[in-house]
């Protein structure tokens, strides 16, 4: 046992995060493009062929939507690469709390784990409040509307948004470099990993409880396949694309609960989704679909449609 632990320590001491960073914009952009589109293809096309997936929505994606989202993602990927290149330059000038070198010993790796947990919380908080900002009418109409073109999102919807939105969303990747000591390789690895989270959150079928976050792994170990109401699911964000005034968070549900932006049927629908009674789950989804359709009809046709409906007149 002691020999095995010693081997593990030696292995950890030899691991270097250096290859993950360096090289400026084009290296970062290449990393992002390869990762984003390969993971997107895996989640969108490959995984559903080999495992049974339960689609969240009834409605089908419109023809060309997936290709459109894949194309729109190029701009945000370039912005994110630019952010990473800027972080490298700030580090080179000694202006941040980032550091480099080999991670040696269990205390160094324990600190890395602590950093990941802290990054999860900060990322979720930043995402919630900037997401609400993006739903402010001037920003929604001119910027965030691109992301909401996808009513039935796919993995490639993850970064399908305006470059201005990308600057807002990815700004936290610079800010965290000034908050606490952070290994530059961990910074790159973590924010590459968040690309997976954004893609997985839009995939259109439920991945929970197999979502690879610290909290997700802990919940899986403690609760098994039962959903955890404190953690986001794919269904959580998928509902945001149908109910745009609800569900602004990324990893956790506490901000939505505290700020009153959690959909009133979310908890009920979430647990029904994970029960063997698939028919009941589909019934809940159908109810949501009808509710969405009713709201959309009123918004589209205005007060006249509402008056006609109140008077029992069928609106064509």
Question: What does each C-alpha distance from 229 to 5, 46, 219, 222, 315 come to in angstroms?
Answer: 36, 29, 10, 13, 40
Q: Where are the domains of the chain?
A: 2-274, 282-316
pTM, two decimals, is 0.80
* DSSP annotation string for 221-284: HHHTTS--TTB--HHHHHHHHHSTTS---SSBSHHHHHTT-S-TTHHHHHHHHTSS-HHHHHHH
The pLDDT tens digits of the residues spanning 223-243 come to 777 778 899 999 999 999 999
Residue 281 pLDDT more than 50? Answer: no
Give the residue from 198, 194, 206, 200 showing the smallest Cα distance to 51. Answer: 206
The pLDDT tens digits of the residues spanning 23-54 come to 899 999 999 999 999 999 999 999 888 887 77
Instruction: Give the lowest-confidence range in 99-103, 207-211, 301-305.
Output: 301-305
Residue 310 pLDDT more than 60? Answer: no
């Amino acid at each position: 046992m002691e020999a095995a632990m010693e081997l593990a320590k030696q292995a950890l001491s030899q691991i270097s995060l250096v290859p993950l960073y360096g090289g400026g914009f084009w290296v970062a952009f290449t990393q992002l493009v390869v990762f984003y589109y390969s993971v997107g293809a895996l989640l969108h096309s490959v995984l559903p062929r080999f495992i049974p997936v339960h689609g969240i929505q009834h409605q089908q994606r419109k023809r060309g939507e997936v290709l459109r989202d894949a194309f729109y993602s190029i701009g945000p990927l370039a912005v994110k690469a630019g952010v990473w290149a800027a972080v490298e330059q700030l580090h080179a000038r000694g202006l941040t709390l980032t550091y480099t070198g080999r991670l040696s010993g269990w205390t160094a790796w324990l600190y890395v784990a602590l950093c990941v947990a802290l990054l999860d919380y900060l990322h979720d908080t930043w995402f919630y409040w900037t997401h609400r900002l993006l739903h402010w009418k001037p920003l929604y109409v001119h910027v965030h509307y691109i992301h909401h073109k996808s009513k039935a999102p796919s993995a490639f919807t993850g970064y399908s948004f305006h470059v201005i939105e990308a600057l807002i969303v990815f700004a936290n990747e610079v800010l965290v470099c000034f908050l606490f000591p952070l290994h530059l390789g961990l910074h790159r690895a973590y924010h590459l990993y968040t690309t997976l989270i954004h893609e997985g959150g839009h995939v259109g079928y439920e991945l929970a409880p197999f979502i690879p976050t610290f909290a997700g792994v802990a919940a899986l170990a403690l609760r098994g396949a039962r959903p955890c109401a404190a953690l986001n699911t794919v269904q959580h964000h998928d509902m945001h694309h149908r109910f745009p005034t609800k569900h602004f968070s990324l990893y956790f549900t506490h901000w939505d609960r505290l700020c009153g932006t959690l959909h009133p049927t979310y908890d009920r629908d979430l647990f029904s989704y994970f029960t063997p009674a698939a028919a009941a789950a589909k019934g809940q989804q159908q109810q949501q679909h009808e509710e969405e359709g009713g709201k959309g009809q009123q918004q589209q046709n205005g007060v006249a449609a509402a008056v006609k409906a109140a008077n029992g007149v069928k609106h064509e």
